[in-house]
């Protein structure tokens, strides 16, 4: 680092690799890191050395008191991360609306999903509703398209083959050779069951091409992305899918912790309006009561 620089500031430092932090810490500059461990859904946030001063900042200028009411219960039930209470701004006003089944997101809304299966489901549903949608970037669009193509190839191996794909099957299916293995791995994912039903009805590669034609106008179309990938971003209107707030039992406490973080990220992205399938606090209470499928992880 050139000596003319006196300070290094790293924003969203929860995502920094430990090796990179080690390199930067060896420099002569003052290093300041700012991060939110609840925006790291999986893995452990890198901690600074004990002699480095640590300060918790829990006040949000974007989120108001109604968002605070939703976020603090998420923090309180997480099994590992810090318990510093979240404080919403008194002059911020994020509207919260519970949407009905079959609801079509308004223009410019960002739909935050739980998984690639959920993203595939919502891409199909938005297309069926003639709702223009897009993706954060070309890489995200190509990744979901590759995922959907791999899904169809595994479901209909007699017609399609992943071996003929330019990049091979999607990494999600790296250890799955047939549809039965896919079903075994995703049997508790409601979005997967919905997608499987669409495949049985005849969804194929030609339908993926039709999805890409419903691009719409940037800024007015809906945006589709996974909740855990939205960290550090903010949007005027945000919708959490029912699968993100699933009522199906989680595998263990670790899986529930990851979902708590994904929901935290999704809720705290909204600037103006937040669309929820139902009350988040009731969702937390429901899972606290019904426990998980497996007891290990506590």
Looking at residue 213, its pLDDT comes to 66
**Predicted confidence band of residue 298 (pLDDT cuts 50, 70, 90):** very low
Which carries the bigger pLDDT value, residue 179 or residue 54? Answer: 179
Task: Please identify which residue in the block is written with the tokens 């139902």.
Answer: 278
Phi, psi of 190 (to 5 degrees): -65, -30
148-161 average pLDDT score: 87
Per-residue pLDDT, 63: 79
Q: What is the DSSP string of 239-294?
A: EE-TTTT--SPPSSHHHHHHHHHHHHHHHTTEEEEEEESS-HHHHHHHHHHH--S-
Task: Read off the DSSP letter of residue 48.
Answer: P
pLDDT at 167 over 90: no
pLDDT of residue 296: 61
- In DSSP terms, 32 is beta-bridged to 9
**Element (DSSP H or E) covering residue 181:** helix 179-186
Do residues 37 and 14 make contact, with C-beta atoms less than 8 angstroms apart? yes
Q: Give residue-wise pLDDT tens across range 6-50.
A: 999 999 888 889 899 989 988 889 999 998 888 887 777 788 888
> In this predicted structure, which of 95-104, 116-125, 217-226 has the lowest mean pLDDT?
217-226
Strand positions, DSSP E, the chain: 7-11, 30-34, 59-60, 87-88, 95-98, 110-113, 133-134, 222-226, 235-240, 270-276
Q: Across residues 186-208, what is the average pLDDT?
A: 93
User: Mean pLDDT over all residues of the chain?
Assistant: 89
What is the C-alpha to C-alpha distance for residues 152 and 233, in angstroms, rounded to an integer?
Answer: 32
Contact 118, 242 (CB under 8 A): no
pLDDT surpassing 70 at residue 94: yes
Supply the DSSP symbol for 109: -
If we measure between CA atoms, which residue out of 179, 184, 186, 181 comes closest to residue 200?
Answer: 179
Contact call for residues 224 and 136 (beta carbons, < 8 A): no
Task: Grade residue 61 by pLDDT with cuts at 50, 70 and 90.
Answer: confident
Position 166 scores a pLDDT of 66
pLDDT digits (tens, 9 = 90+) for 223-266: 999 999 998 899 999 999 999 999 999 999 999 999 999 999 99
Of 38-42, 127-131, 194-198, 232-236, least confident by mean pLDDT is 38-42
- Which tokens belong to 78? 């997480």
pLDDT of 154 over the 80 cut? yes
Nearest to 72 by CA among 264, 266, 272, 239: 264
User: What is the per-residue pLDDT for 163?
Assistant: 54
Q: What is the pLDDT of residue 247?
A: 95
Position 92 scores a pLDDT of 77
Produce one character per residue of 259-288: b if its CB has 16 or more CB atoms within 10 Å, e if not. Answer: bbbbbbbbbbbbeebbbbbeebeebbeebe
Instruction: Decide if pLDDT at 168 tops 50.
Output: yes
Cα gap 225→139, rounded to integer Å: 12
> For residue 207, what are the CA distances in angstroms to 161, 204, 238?
17, 5, 27
What distance in Å separates the CA atoms of residue 92 and residue 125, rounded to the nearest whole number?
33
Find the range with the poorest average confidence among 78-82, 105-109, 122-126, 152-156: 78-82
């Amino acid at each position: 680092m050139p000596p003319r620089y006196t300070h290094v500031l790293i924003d969203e430092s929860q995502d920094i690799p430990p090796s990179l932090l080690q390199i930067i810490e060896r420099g002569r500059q003052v290093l300041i890191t700012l991060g939110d461990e609840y925006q790291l859904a999986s893995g452990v946030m890198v901690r600074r050395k004990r002699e480095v001063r640590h300060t918790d900042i829990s006040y949000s200028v974007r989120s108001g008191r109604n968002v605070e009411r939703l976020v603090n219960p998420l923090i309180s039930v997480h099994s590992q991360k810090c318990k510093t209470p979240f404080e919403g701004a008194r002059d911020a006003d994020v509207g919260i609306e519970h949407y009905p089944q079959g609801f079509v997101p308004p223009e410019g809304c960002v739909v935050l999903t739980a998984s690639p299966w959920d993203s595939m489901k919502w891409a199909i549903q938005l297309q069926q509703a003639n709702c223009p949608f897009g993706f954060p970037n070309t890489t995200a669009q190509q990744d979901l398209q590759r995922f959907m193509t791999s899904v169809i190839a595994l479901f209909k191996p007699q017609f399609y083959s992943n071996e003929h794909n330019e990049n091979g099957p999607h990494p999600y299916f790296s250890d799955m050779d047939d549809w039965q293995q896919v079903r075994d791995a995703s049997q508790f994912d409601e979005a997967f069951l919905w997608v499987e039903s669409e495949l049985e009805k005849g969804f194929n590669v030609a339908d993926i091409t039709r999805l890409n034609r419903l691009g719409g106008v940037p800024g007015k179309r809906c945006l589709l992305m996974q909740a855990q990938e939205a960290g550090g971003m903010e949007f005027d209107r945000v919708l959490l899918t029912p699968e993100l707030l699933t009522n199906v039992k989680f595998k263990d406490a670790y899986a529930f912790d990851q979902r708590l973080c994904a929901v935290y990220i999704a809720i705290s992205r909204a600037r103006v309006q937040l669309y929820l399938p139902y009350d988040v606090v009731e969702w937390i209470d429901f899972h606290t009561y019904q426990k998980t499928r497996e007891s290990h992880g506590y």
